[in-house]
A and B are shown apart, each in its own frame.
Chain A
Amino acid sequence: MLTLRNLRKKFGDLIAVDGLSLRIEPGEVFGLLGPNGAGKSTTIGMSVGMIRPDAGDVTLEGFGDPMNPPVRRAIGVAPQSLAIYEDLTARENMVFFGRLQSMRGRTLRRRVDLTLEMVGLSSRQFDRVATFSGGMKRRLNLAAAMIHEPPLLLLDEPTAGVDPQSRNSILELVRSLAAQGVTILYTTHYMEEAAKLCSRVAVVDHGRLLAIGTVPDLVRTHGGTTVITVDRGDRSERIETSDPVRDVATIMADPTRGISGLRIDRPDLESVFLNLTGRSLRD
């Protein structure tokens, strides 16, 4: 669906994206993960034709280069910062973004109704966005991206700063869109979210692709070993293992050791992320 080939982009002396190549298959939810400043937003900017790459190319299969405005009709973007007008009502926002896509008349009205329904804002459609909660604004931000039914959706941290209910609603909506065959490029700092939603994940840092694959593959190759922590009174023992089932069975079979607690830390996407990008703070 979307192919990025050897993309490079520099801002002054800063290399934001350095030879990045990706291919996102039709209908998949693809997670793009990386710490702050890793080059995710620049990559998304180049993917949607907002930023012109210094080198490399972007192709939206069946449509062409997103730098060409008509090609962008196939893309919906929900930027990380809320890109909606607070002075307008929810409906006015949707109508405006629909008209930017050259939608009009009954088609536009029907699509506005349906999209507002999908994000659960029908009952507040005539209220100004300024009166909305953070979660409602996030949902509207997402609705504005899908008003024109694009086959490719780029969602840049769509659940940042929302309450669990809104977060759950957004995740359900993303699953539903994926089930309908929409291709989704998803960025997030919530690893659990990416693990639940994404069929494949890419980890980038310093503008380079560090790893790509399904979550189980990445965990297996980059997640490290399982750690069993055994508490015995006032001391605890840490055991790294590649076969936790066998080792736990062994530990539990010895009644003389006085076990007061047992914890198993299996590798997950977060450990993959930290192993690949390091534990130093990023600003």
Chain B
Amino acid sequence: MTPVIALAIKDLRHLLRDRGAAFFALGFPLLVALFFGFIFGGDTSQRARLAVRVVNLDQGPAGAALVDAMGRDGSIELSASDDPTEAADAVRLGKAVAVVTIPRDFSAASDAIFVGVARSIEMVVDPSRRSEAGLLEGKLNQLAFRQLSERFADPAWMRTAIANAKQAAATARDISPPQAIGMSLMFDAIQRAIDAGFNPAAGDGEAWTPIRISVSSLDTPRTGPRSGYEVSFIQGIIWGLMGCVTAFGSSMASERSRGTLARLTVAPITRAQVLAGKSLACFIACLAVQAILVAFGMAAFGISVERPLMLVTACLAAGVGFTGLMMFMAGLSRTEGGGGGLGRALVLILAMIGGGTVPLFVMPRILLAASRVSPFSWATTCLEGALWRGYSAPEMLLPAAILVSFGVVGFAIGVSALRWTE
């Protein structure tokens, strides 16, 4: 066992001392994780909110109440602005989906709810984000309706509004006397009902609403990452595994070109021991890269592991799978350039289509199907399953077994293709 461990330690030392290889095994993956995590917006609950600028020109309570309601709504990330031009610029620059302007007469129009023109607000939207603007329009309608319901529940406000409406109906010139009488009788009836304790908004039942939609979060099992970092750190791990495969994949070619392979083959050890030492080093490096990135993600970005035992399984399966891929690449690599370059290119492509660039869960179906030829894709599935998909052991079994199979086949092909002498 001593020679195998000595070989593994020696190869790990090489990896750590080769700054380029160490960077691509650990530094670059970390940068990928941070970069894409930042791009994805970190916390997905923040990402899901609509960024809106509000310009409140109204000095009355209704405008303030609407701003307050928008601010408290979980789906809106509200920023108040006094300057309509600055707010419009924010939309133009993509910092906000829309500018909502509350006009000066908003409170006055809200008080004269039964007479005059309807109260209004203005919304300027980013044309490239119309679907989000549509969501915002619906949200504003919902908030306005809720505000109206609250007003209806206030008897004092209703009495004042009815009195104003009766006064307006009596003096209006554009309605006939019978219509004015009819309206007066209707307002009196409402007034009597309110005086008798009828609450049109609450009462025994609930305020009227055109449709009631029940919305709840799907917490168990989770179907999506809690934050962008739970996606990007998996991407980082994919790049880290690629770094390990390329670093160790060319090590046999390096031994050959250095002449040290000759010394290894004349040492009193079997070729199987040489391969075991190389494989052990790659396996340890793969595990270390995964452990370091997950630990960093947990400590710095709040990544939580849904199923720790499944994570261990995923990491071990990935370690076996990519050690086999490393040996496959080592078999291809006659020289440090040449076949090594071909192997590196192949591994790079497999990593890219396997979730290293585009996360699997946002891939189009056809690309996702194509990605299944890549062991990186199965590693991504395993890691997603452990980190945020909440895979059970039976669910983890298939991707982990496929990953191990990739390793076994790659190892067998690589070993048979290896050349031990010049």
- Judge whether B259 and A79 touch: CB under 8 Å: yes
State in angstroms the CA–CA spacing of A186 and B205 once bound together. Answer: 105
> Interface of chain B, helix or strand or loop or mixed?
helix
A191 contacts partner chain B, Cβ-Cβ < 8 Å: no
- Judge whether B262 and A50 touch: CB under 8 Å: yes
Q: In the complex, which of the residues A50, A85, A87, A97 contacts B265, with contact meaning CB atoms closer than 8 Å? A: A50
- Judge whether B263 and A83 touch: CB under 8 Å: yes
A48 contacts partner chain B, Cβ-Cβ < 8 Å: yes
- Judge whether A100 and B267 touch: CB under 8 Å: yes
State in angstroms the CA–CA spacing of A48 and B267 once bound together. Answer: 9
B2 contacts partner chain A, Cβ-Cβ < 8 Å: yes
Render A56-87 as a binary contact track against B, CB cut-off 8 A, 1 for contact. Answer: 00000000000001111101010111111111
B269 contacts partner chain A, Cβ-Cβ < 8 Å: yes
| Residues in A35-54 with C-beta less than 8 Å from chain B | 45, 48-51
B18 contacts partner chain A, Cβ-Cβ < 8 Å: yes
Please give me the residue from chain A that is nearest to B420 by CB atom: A50
- Judge whether B266 and A87 touch: CB under 8 Å: no
A96 contacts partner chain B, Cβ-Cβ < 8 Å: yes
| Residues in chain A near residue B267, CB distance under 8 A | 69, 72, 97, 100-101
| Residues in chain B near residue A84, CB distance under 8 A | 260
| Residues in chain B near residue A75, CB distance under 8 A | 266
- Judge whether A99 and B3 touch: CB under 8 Å: yes
Please give me the residue from chain B that is nearest to A52 by CB atom: B421
A144 contacts partner chain B, Cβ-Cβ < 8 Å: yes
B10 contacts partner chain A, Cβ-Cβ < 8 Å: yes
- Judge whether A49 and B266 touch: CB under 8 Å: yes
Q: Known interface pairs A85-B14, A85-B258, A100-B269. Does A77 touch B263 (Cβ–Cβ under 8 Å)? A: yes
State in angstroms the CA–CA spacing of A80 and B269 once bound together. Answer: 21
Please give me the residue from chain A that is nearest to B15 by CB atom: A87
- Judge whether B258 and A45 touch: CB under 8 Å: no
| Residues in chain A near residue B3, CB distance under 8 A | 99-100, 102
A92 contacts partner chain B, Cβ-Cβ < 8 Å: yes
Please give me the residue from chain B that is nearest to A93 by CB atom: B10
| Residues in chain A near residue B262, CB distance under 8 A | 50, 77, 79, 81, 83
- Judge whether A82 and B14 touch: CB under 8 Å: no
- Judge whether A50 and B268 touch: CB under 8 Å: no
B173 contacts partner chain A, Cβ-Cβ < 8 Å: no
Please give me the residue from chain A that is nearest to B263 by CB atom: A83
- Judge whether B266 and A50 touch: CB under 8 Å: yes
State in angstroms the CA–CA spacing of A97 and B262 once bound together. Answer: 12
| Residues in chain A near residue B268, CB distance under 8 A | 69-73, 100-102
State in angstroms the CA–CA spacing of A99 and B259 once bound together. Answer: 18
Please give me the residue from chain B that is nearest to A47 by CB atom: B266
B270 contacts partner chain A, Cβ-Cβ < 8 Å: yes
Q: In the complex, which of the residues B5, B260, B266 contacts A85, with contact meaning CB atoms closer than 8 Å? A: B260
B418 contacts partner chain A, Cβ-Cβ < 8 Å: no
- Judge whether B260 and A50 touch: CB under 8 Å: no
| Residues in chain B near residue A4, CB distance under 8 A | none
Please give me the residue from chain B that is nearest to A73 by CB atom: B268
Render A88-129 as a binary contact track against B, CB cut-off 8 A, 1 for contact. Answer: 100010011101111010000000000000000000000000
| Residues in chain A near residue B5, CB distance under 8 A | 99
Q: Known interface pairs A45-B421, A87-B17. Does A144 touch B263 (Cβ–Cβ under 8 Å)? A: yes
- Judge whether A102 and B259 touch: CB under 8 Å: no
| Residues in chain B near residue A70, CB distance under 8 A | 268
State in angstroms the CA–CA spacing of A87 and B421 once bound together. Answer: 23
**What range describes how many residues of A lie at the interface?**
20 to 34
Please give me the residue from chain A that is nearest to B18 by CB atom: A87
| Residues in chain B near residue A71, CB distance under 8 A | 268
Please give me the residue from chain B that is nearest to A49 by CB atom: B266
| Residues in B1-56 with C-beta less than 8 Å from chain A | 2-3, 5-7, 9-10, 13-14, 17-18
State in angstroms the CA–CA spacing of A169 and B264 once bound together. Answer: 26
| Residues in chain B near residue A101, CB distance under 8 A | 267-268
State in angstroms the CA–CA spacing of A96 and B260 once bound together. Answer: 12
State in angstroms the CA–CA spacing of A130 and B13 once bound together. Answer: 15
| Residues in chain B near residue A144, CB distance under 8 A | 263
State in angstroms the CA–CA spacing of A77 and B268 once bound together. Answer: 12
- Judge whether A82 and B259 touch: CB under 8 Å: yes
Please give me the residue from chain A that is nearest to B1 by CB atom: A102
Would you give the shortest CB distance from B334 to chain A, in whole angstroms?
A: 16
Q: Which of B9, B258, B259, B262 has the largest number of chain A CB atoms within 10 A?
A: B262
Would you give the shortest CB distance from B280 to chain A, in whole angstroms?
A: 14
Q: In the complex, which of the residues A69, A82, A85, A102 contacts B10, with contact meaning CB atoms closer than 8 Å? A: A85
Q: In the complex, which of the residues A45, A82, A95, A100 contacts B264, with contact meaning CB atoms closer than 8 Å? A: A100
- Judge whether B13 and A92 touch: CB under 8 Å: yes
- Judge whether B2 and A88 touch: CB under 8 Å: no
| Residues in chain A near residue B13, CB distance under 8 A | 87-88, 92
- Judge whether A96 and B10 touch: CB under 8 Å: yes
- Judge whether B259 and A88 touch: CB under 8 Å: no
Would you give the shortest CB distance from B276 to chain A, in whole angstroms?
A: 13
Would you give the shortest CB distance from A209 to chain B, in whole angstroms?
A: 23
- Judge whether B259 and A104 touch: CB under 8 Å: no
State in angstroms the CA–CA spacing of A80 and B263 once bound together. Answer: 11
| Residues in chain B near residue A99, CB distance under 8 A | 2-3, 5-6
Q: In the complex, which of the residues A69, A77, A102 contacts B270, with contact meaning CB atoms closer than 8 Å? A: A69
| Residues in chain A near residue B10, CB distance under 8 A | 85, 88, 92, 96
State in angstroms the CA–CA spacing of A70 and B267 once bound together. Answer: 9
Would you give the shortest CB distance from B255 to chain A, in whole angstroms?
A: 9
Per CB-CB distance, the 5 closest pairs between chain A and chain B, nearest first, are A99-B6, A81-B259, A83-B263, A100-B267, A73-B268
Given A81-B262, A100-B264: 5 more A-B contacts, CB < 8 Å: A49-B265, A72-B267, A87-B18, A92-B10, A101-B267
**Could you jot down 14 A-B contacts, CB within 8 Å?**
A50-B265, A50-B266, A70-B268, A72-B268, A81-B259, A82-B258, A83-B258, A85-B258, A87-B17, A88-B17, A95-B6, A99-B2, A100-B3, A100-B7
